[in-house]
Structures are given as C-alpha cells and as structure tokens.
Chains A and B, each alone.
Chain A
C-alpha cells in the first residue's frame, strides 16, 4: 500500500526540536554547518561537537538511528582522515621509513573527521525531526524573497508538494503493473543484462501511459479549482517563531562567538 512508503527520513515525535519552526530549523542548521567549517582549533571543535551532541539528545531520537543512518559515510570519513595524518608539514613527531607524522598532520586529520561528523549529525538531526511537508513549507518561506529576482518560488514548491504526494502512488502502481505482467507470464529475472532491460518495457510503457493520464486529470482538477488564475496565492500553513526558536538562535549565536574566539587558542598554550 502507498501508506507504507514514507518519504524522507522523518521520525515522528514531540521533542523540542520537532516542535521548532521549520524555517528556523533549516536556517540554523545551515548556519551551524558554516560554523563547523570555520572551526579548526581543538577547543572550538570541542565546543561545537558538544553542542551537536546536545542537539542529538534534544531530538529524543535514539542514537542508534543516527549511527545506522550515518555509519557508512562516517567510516569513509575516518579512512580519509587517517590518510590526512601522513600529509602534514613541519617538524616530524614520528618517523618510520617513508612514514612521517607531524603535529599539523594530526590536527588536520582530527579536524577533518570532527567536522564531517558534526555536519552529518546536524543534517541528520534536521531530517529526522522535520516532516517532508514542513520542510517544503519552510523552504517556501525561506526562498520567498527570490520572487523579487524573478524566480517563481510558488511553482517550484507546488512541484515539490505534488511530487511528495504522487511518488508513493506511482511506486505502488509500478508494483501493481509488475505483478500484472508477472501473472501473464513475464519473467523479469532471466537472461543477460540486455534481456533484463528489455523485460522492463512492458512495465515502463503502461506506467508512462498512466502517469500521463494522471497528470492530465490532475492538471484539469487544479484548473477547476482556480490554480494559476489569480495573481497571488495565500497559504493555509503559517509558522510562528516560538520561545524555543529564539532560544535556539541565541544558543547558536553564542556558539558562533565561542568558536571564533577559541579558534586562535591553542590547547597546548593554555595547559
């Protein structure tokens, strides 16, 4: 059933982050990633990593889900930061044959790993706590200033909205067609690659036909409901910035100041 297919990675819940205004969430996540990219000293990285960890806790989504969703990329990151270890410049700390490890190499590899890890966690946090619909509406509001430079934001958002609704329906229909063709004796898993591609023709063609019919009927129904006939549309969905959003903004602001301030502090000098 179409109901089984959930788009995106939204995990329903009622945490502080779930209740935040999607506009604020999207913008702050983006801003946090910028901050992550500017952090390079150990103290700055620690600040932002601790903050990321607090975010994960505040989303009240089990850490398991985060690991499951980011594990593979994270393993790749560790590997690349491991390589970074050997490409430092300056005084070698450790030398063995052609392998030299310098202090800057160590810092580089830690910085790269921590940055990518934080960014992944921040984006996962956003994805997990924002439904596809909220995301669309949030983006709509954020992008609305683009209207002034001639980008038709409304049309783009309408396209996304319709896709969100029809992707599950189309997937379901594809399954129906596959089953219908199988019940007539079609065999999808036989022969070489070319045979297999050919065996998809009886699926793709009816799917195209039915999708075009759908599109035609939908556009007619939309036209009957006055779509595109009046200049400006209004919107049912409305977001209000709450206390949680303001709090989050202040917090991210403080983090930014902290990161910039600590970027020039060397942990070695403090100790």
Chain B
C-alpha cells in the first residue's frame, strides 16, 4: 500500500543555521488492511514521517510510493490524497464549514463529485461515525470527540484506502477519546481500511497489528503491541505510562494467576477477573 525507500528529509534549522535531518534513511512498508501504530518521543519525527505518505511533504532523498504512485508526481497529488486521508490532532483546525454536512462534503466538492452522489456519500460517512443526527448542526455546538468524528467522516466520505491519524485523541477528554478509538476500530473491522495511528496513549495500541517505534528520525524497532507491554524498557524509553489494568495484570501474573489476555479496558479486566473467580469456585 505505502512503500518508503530510503527516505530522508531535511529542513533548514534557524537556530543552528544548517540543514537538519528530521528523517534519516527510513525504509518502511505499510500493507493493505493493516493497523499500524507509530510510537515515539516528542520531536522524534512521527508527524514528519506520516506527512510523507500522501505527499504533503516530499522526501529530500529517497522515494515514497503510495498505491503505485510516487508522491513526487505532482499531477497525481489529488489521487494520492483521496486514497490516503489524514486526521489531525485538533478537531477545530480541520473543520471548514459551520454546518456539519457541508464540512463532510468538503473533500467531495474538491474532487468534483456530482451533487447527487455526494448526498448519499455524506450520509453514509456520517452514519459510519454515528453522527448522522447532527447533520445540520454547527460544529461549534459539538463536543471534542464529536468534532473529531466529524473530521473522520470528512475523510471517510472520500472513500480512502488508508487513513492516517496523527494523535487524534490527545486533545480530548476520556469520553471523547473512547468515542474516537471505537470509531477507528470500527473502520478497521467494517470497512477494512488501512490505518496508521500515531499516539502517546498506551490504551490505543492494543488493536494494532504492528507497532513501529521511532527515535530521532529513525525507526528503531518494529514489534507487536504485547512485546511493548511485556518489556518495561520500551515503556520507559517511550515515556508511556502503564494503566492500572496493565499493572494489575502483571501483579496477578506474579502470583500465578494468568488472565486470558491483556487489556487496557478496566471493564473488560473486571469481567475477566470475575470469570476467573467463578471458574475457580466451580472447581
């Protein structure tokens, strides 16, 4: 789906007045229908990396090939961006119109989709993120989580094959975060969309097929979510905080009680413990 070959990116740094490499010789493949999480400290180049995926940034050297199209090909910009959508951190700064349905239609309007098709595409996208009832509202009236879902619908309406999320939940409250995470998971399950997610939140890495860890412009390792959780060094390196349920999992494991799987969801965790206790009683 997306292939990066030897990608380096440099930008002029005013403080040191020289060209600084922000990305250094990155080789990476993102496959169709995959869910990839990118982790890394602040300033490690995560955002810079994903902006290469759809040609917002063009590599200083190396090539990015998205679905067979090289991002250096200016004539195909529109096609690449239709195929690879992006959702950013601040929901307010990606919503264009003061009517929800018009904002969702924005991308379609840009693509020149005829009006008749547009109406059903917008409705479907809004239903997909569960915001159909707010079709005529003003985004100003919505919560952060709802606004972020509108932003997702706006990208979704363009029928992308891959959606890149750059810290989509970092400005939201826990409730909004849950709404958005659920929406992202549904996308993967329902539409089979390829998903790339940048996050600082450990609870969001569980559904990933693969976790890529970046440090100062390089990919330092590729692991599964469980490897991160099992290795405290990773957690420390990334400055991730274990949630209570993860801590609990380890403490129980230390006493010989092994729960069936690791989860960050406290409700699920409670369910598992109850199940475990009941099983024990039966025996």
Contact = CB atoms under 8 A, between A and B. Distances in A.
Interface of A: 1-3, 132-133, 161-162, 164-165, 168-169, 214, 217-218, 220-238
Scoring A226, A229, A233 by chain B CB atoms within 10 A of each residue's CB, the highest score goes to A226
A2 B85 contact: no
B249 interface: no
A220 B48 CA distance: 13
Interface stretch (B14-22, B76-84, B172-180): B76-84
A11 B282 CA distance: 67
B94 interface: yes
B56 interface: yes
A221 B93 CA distance: 8
A152 B92 CA distance: 26
Contacts of B105: 236
Interface of B: 54, 56, 77-78, 81-82, 85-86, 88, 90, 92-99, 101-102, 105-115, 118-119, 122, 138-141, 151, 154-155, 158
Contacts of B81: 223-226, 229
Contact of A218 (B93, B108, B139, B155): B93
Contacts of A214: 92-93
Contact of B112 (A165, A218, A232): A232
A132 B154 CA distance: 22
A221 B88 contact: yes
B109 A217 contact: no
Contact of A236 (B85, B94, B109): B109
Nearest to B74: A229
B254 to A, nearest CB: 45
Given A217-B94, A236-B109, A237-B102, A169 B114 contact: no
A223 to B, nearest CB: 7
Scoring B86, B95, B97, B101 by chain A CB atoms within 10 A of each residue's CB, the highest score goes to B97
A165 B93 contact: no
A3 B96 contact: no
B56 A228 contact: no
A224 B122 CA distance: 18
8 contacts: A217-B88, A221-B88, A223-B56, A227-B110, A234-B114, A236-B101, A236-B109, A236-B115
A268 B151 CA distance: 67
Given A224-B85, A226-B82, A236-B122, A164 B98 contact: yes
- List the 5 closest A-B pairs by CB distance, nearest first: A221-B94, A236-B105, A225-B107, A217-B93, A229-B78
Contact of A231 (B92, B112, B113): B112
B94 A133 contact: no
A132 B99 CA distance: 11
B110 A236 contact: no
B78 A226 contact: yes
A230 B158 CA distance: 14
A165 B97 contact: yes
Contact of A233 (B97, B112, B119): B112
A172 B82 CA distance: 33
